[in-house]
Amino acid sequence: MITLLSFVFTLAILIAIHEYGHFQMARWCGVKVLKFSIGFGRPFFTKTFGKDKTEFVLSALPFGGFVKMLDERELSEHDKLLMDSHELNRAFNRQSVYKRIAIVAAGPIANLLLAVVLYWLLMMQGTIGLKPVLADVAEGSAANAAQLHREDRIVNIAGHDVQLWQDIQWILIRQVFKSPTVAVQTIDRHQQKHTRYLDLTGITESDLDADFLAKLGLKPSKPVVDPVIGNLIQNSPAERAGLQTGDKILTVDGELVADWESLVKIIQDSPNKNLKLSIERTNQHLDINVIPDVINKNGHSIGQVGAGVSMNESMMNQYLITIHHSPITALLKAVQKTYETSAFSLKMLSNMLTGEVSIKSISGPVTIATYAGQSANLGLNAFIAFLAVISISLGVLNLLPIPVLDGGHLLYYMVEIIKGSPVSDQVMEMGQRIGLAILGLLMACALYNDLSRLITG
């Protein structure tokens, strides 16, 4: 239910903001707006507002929307005769090409501005994350070859400052497509500064869907957490087996368990296998058998019992950092984040066209719904960050020069400026057909990828 409600709320908000951009710019340009509609299907709210008597409509299925403006091309000759000249001068088709460009572009721009506002709020509130300090560096890894060591604090990558561990992933995922090596500036345990060069050539496209930092040998320094049960998912294998909050796992099949990470690895390596747990519960030693469920992750079957860890908050705080920004700095960083995410999205799209990136990277409504539910479960900040990313994706997608999208209309207007007259109806009709075909292929590809992910995990 949370996933469904989060998905519906996400679509409703992003579509409403997009259409409001068109609506407000049309009003500023003096165009008469006849209808502002969100959703499809049976309307459950209809109200007329304003001096233009604009009809506002909310429908049951929030999978789209539109702003209907006065346009002579949609009027009969009889209707034109009944309208006075002032009213006809407010028709969309009578506006200058630059006003029409502004109205069409306002929708995607509104989505990008929404992302800026959301990132601005998050950055002012403060971003919490792991400190960018390395744990043990695996032998033979790219990080080991670059002479990175345990307790090194990463402060800059490729000229970009690093404040949180998640900054490392965001910077490197962009650098993978730019150069085979990247400069990494660190401060070691003795406060000495170093510049290392990390080899990225071992990272493939499929690695980007998983923990590619671990493949490079980069792991964050985290506290050693005791294998104590903190919470249980209802009707999970752990709960059915009789495990309780506060249970400390001593051994699994006779093998000593040193910490929570070791316990997780044993369970993940034992899908659908009967495990004998020796536990300590209020000074009692008990034996409990549990069979991990089998789940698919990145094409591999792993075990899962549905138990969470009991965290010592004071210990964890030693490894966490909160970054606060002033309103002005937060705004500048929000604009930069929105720009970088938009540019990266366009880069990924161009790489798909050249074959450097697989079309399997395209996601559809099922994946969006899944992430909407997951982010909502993680808390308000995670959901706001998710909204910002999807809003950017919607804005960038609509600016693509594909007929039937806003970018397609902008392309027509660019041609109109160059040739001095509007594109013919025949060209526009052909463009509509081509655009619908392209969108149909994209939707089919996205749904196929969604279903494939559901099957393979």
Domains of the chain: 100-126+326-457 (no CATH), 128-223+313-323 (2.30.42.10), 229-311 (2.30.42.10)
DSSP 131: -
Rounded to 5 degrees, what are φ and ψ at 223?
-70, 150
Which of 74-78, 124-128, 380-384, 388-392 is predicted with the least confidence, judged by mean pLDDT?
A: 74-78
pLDDT tens digits, residue range 230-247?
888 888 899 999 999 989
For the record, the structure tokens of 170 come out as 């965001």
Name the more confident of 24 and 210: 24
Which of 36-40, 59-63, 201-205, 355-359 is predicted with the least confidence, judged by mean pLDDT?
A: 355-359
Q: How confident is the model at residue 453 (pLDDT cuts 50, 70, 90)?
A: low
Once rounded to an integer, what is the mean pLDDT over residues 25-45?
89
Once rounded to an integer, what is the mean pLDDT over residues 272-298?
88
Of the chain, the percentage scoring pLDDT greater than 90 comes to: 35
Q: How confident is the model at residue 75 (pLDDT cuts 50, 70, 90)?
A: confident
DSSP 4: H
Of the chain, the percentage scoring pLDDT greater than 70 comes to: 92
The identity of residue 156, as a single letter, is N
Active-site entry in 19, 280, 340, 429: 19
Q: Is the pLDDT of residue 456 over 60?
A: no
Q: Residue 94's beta-bridge partner residues? A: none
CA-wise closest residue to 64 among 32, 40, 95: 40
Computed over every residue of the chain, the mean pLDDT equals: 85
pLDDT tens digits, residue range 351-376?
777 776 667 767 777 777 777 777 77
Looking at residue 233, its pLDDT comes to: 84
Distance between start and end Cα atoms, the chain: 21
Q: Is the pTM of this model over 0.95?
A: no
Q: How confident is the model at residue 78 (pLDDT cuts 50, 70, 90)?
A: low
Q: For strands 307-309 and 181-187, give the pairing.
A: unpaired
Q: Is the pLDDT of residue 59 over 80?
A: yes
Q: How big is the chain by its Cα radius of gyration, in Å?
A: 27
CA atoms within 13 A on the CB side of 335: 5
Once rounded to an integer, what is the mean pLDDT over residues 253-281?
90
Other beta carbons within 10 Å of 390? 21
CA-wise closest residue to 55 among 33, 29, 26: 33
pLDDT tens digits, residue range 97-113?
999 999 999 999 999 99
Looking at residue 176, its pLDDT comes to: 81
Q: How confident is the model at residue 382 (pLDDT cuts 50, 70, 90)?
A: confident
Element (H, E) at 390: helix 380-398
Q: Is the pLDDT of residue 447 over 90?
A: no
Looking at residue 12, its pLDDT comes to: 87
Residue 77 appears among annotated catalytic residues: no
Q: Is the pLDDT of residue 208 over 70?
A: no
Once rounded to an integer, what is the mean pLDDT over residues 75-87?
67
pLDDT tens digits, residue range 414-437?
999 998 888 888 888 888 888 888
Looking at residue 112, its pLDDT comes to: 96
Rounded to 5 degrees, what are φ and ψ at 150?
-55, 140
Looking at residue 27, its pLDDT comes to: 93
pLDDT tens digits, residue range 151-194?
999 999 999 899 888 889 888 888 887 888 999 999 998 899 99
* Distance between CA atoms of residues 457 and 79, nearest Å: 57
Looking at residue 421, its pLDDT comes to: 87
CA-wise closest residue to 176 among 201, 150, 196: 201
Residues 6+ apart with CB under 8 A from 456: 296, 299
Q: Is the pLDDT of residue 65 over 70?
A: yes
Q: Is the pLDDT of residue 449 over 80?
A: no
